[in-house]
Chain A
Amino acid sequence: MKKKLVKTLRRIGLRILQTIPLLLIVTILTFILLHFAPGDPAQLMLGSDATPEKVEALRDELGLNNPLHIQVWDFLKGIILEGDFGVSFQSRRPVVEDIAQTLPVTIQLSIIGIIVSTIVGVLVGIISAVRQYSFLDNAIRVIVLFAVSMPAFWLGLMLLLVFAVQLHLLPSYGWGTWQQMILPGITISTFPLAMITRMTRSNMLEVIRQDYIRTARAKGLSANKVIYRHALRNAFIPVVTIIGLQLGVLLTGAVLAETVFALPGLGRLVIDSVYARDYPLIRAAVIYIAFIVTIINLIVDVIYTLLDPRIELH
């Protein structure tokens, strides 16, 4: 038991170390892609009627005319030596501050989203599986089909229209009060909820047919105990991957929901920075996204090994 723990911890350490070269490659690739992408940040900042000299001057100032490898080297030096990820072209503030400012909103929204979608999704999935072919099961499946097909922005707008505009029940924008969290929360939970419900349902259906479930019943366990103690424990394992995936999506900015509800989150920040060709902000955002995705993958993998004793961490 102890040996396995030590082995797992060592492998976790290794995986964390592996993220460093990964982030390095991501950074360099981003640099290269941005360098060759159309659009000039200086031009965008000064406007279309600015003189070419002014544009060049600004480009020099921003370091955009340096050779690519110098730019990369300067950037990496800044990160490693000073923890400086650069300054945003738009706000002229360190990008770290700009991103940090949006994180509370994004993180809060993500937590709401993942908790709601997981709890509701798993429960509904179980019900659907246990009562397969019943009216309830069919109704759930139709609803899930809708949920999976609805574009998030459409759903957000509809909710806005009905609850905020028509019924005046809930606020239509902003972030801070719990009332403001409801509509965006519903909007971003819907798709993950549908995915989790589906996965839970199909896994439960498969698990219920397994021999060890029959053994559990033959031991005299009640139907509930069999479902929650024996079936769910097994069926839930692949669902963890989906939850991780969805969490990753949410943590890196739910752009559409943020746009519809005017939330000052990471998604909007990133999109705006792309339009403005705010290279430092884009780079930092990409590094952040890559980091989050990698860490979440690692956590999901570790949880897998904890849930399924047959699996060892790579």
Chain B
Amino acid sequence: MTKPLLEVYNLVKHFQISKEAAVFAVDDVSFTINQGETLGLVGESGCGKTTIGRAILRLIPPNSGQVVLGGTDVLALSPEELIQMRKRMQIIFQDPFSSLDPRKNIMKLISEPMLIHQLGGKKEIAEKTYKLMDLVGLTADLSGRFPHELDGGRCQRIGIARALALKPEFIVCDEPVSALDVSIQAQILNLLQDLQQEMNLTYLFISHNLAVVKHISSRIIVMYLGKIMEIAEKDELFDNPLHPYTQALLSAIPVPTLDDKRERIFLSGDVPTPVNPPPGCRFVKRCRFAQAECFAETPELTDRGNGHFVACSQLSKGFGGCAQ
């Protein structure tokens, strides 16, 4: 019986850009992640996926909502308690180069979290660092090198080692392989999977690359303009996408096979930014099934069975115009 490690309830984060305009990056999002699970979070730019990752860890202060990690509400902690909490939750960033301090060598970069939390004397920490380097596939002789001397793949391994240094339970992986070459991507994905097994980690895997997300996640959330459009187990999502946006997204991915027989759905217009969103479904302007009520009410996530949730008023009405 798996129990949830992370529970997010009604998370809201908006950025005020002027007196009248606010960007609703994350607009009332709720989900849970079970222990040892990888939850994939997909969406295009402006959907809020990066903001969610940072809001959960309180790297950006959310406006409202609850984030409960192992029973403790992260958002309600005092600053001192939060520092302690950080040992349990970590993040791996997208750009391996800009997320590492260029003036610190590998040894310093990986050992820094342990030094901050005083997890032992200098010698002990150095030993732990070497162990971590070995764990992520970095040879010990690299410990004196600097990020700019290494390639993207190795730098990302440093980022992973650093995230593991405090032995966290939960890691937010924010587009960890998007900036890497294809062959290195595969190496890092395998590494993340192995580490998850060995250290019983729970991941929130954020990416815009559906194929990667499908490979590594067990469940997937599809987001658009700050709201969740669909949640499902990965096979269920890909075999049976219900939300019009998910369908369009899946049909848009170029696949490396010939004789691709998918129906291509082309969305008109551009991906908008969630500034002062009008009432109604966020996807309404680009949806090919939009009806009058889609402009008026924001659809709730409804359970379609098997853990498959969709936020679409046409669907809830009994398959209105949505093709199956």
In the complex, are there CB atoms of A and B closer than 8 Å?
A: no
Residues of A within 8 A of B (CB): none
Residues of B within 8 A of A (CB): none
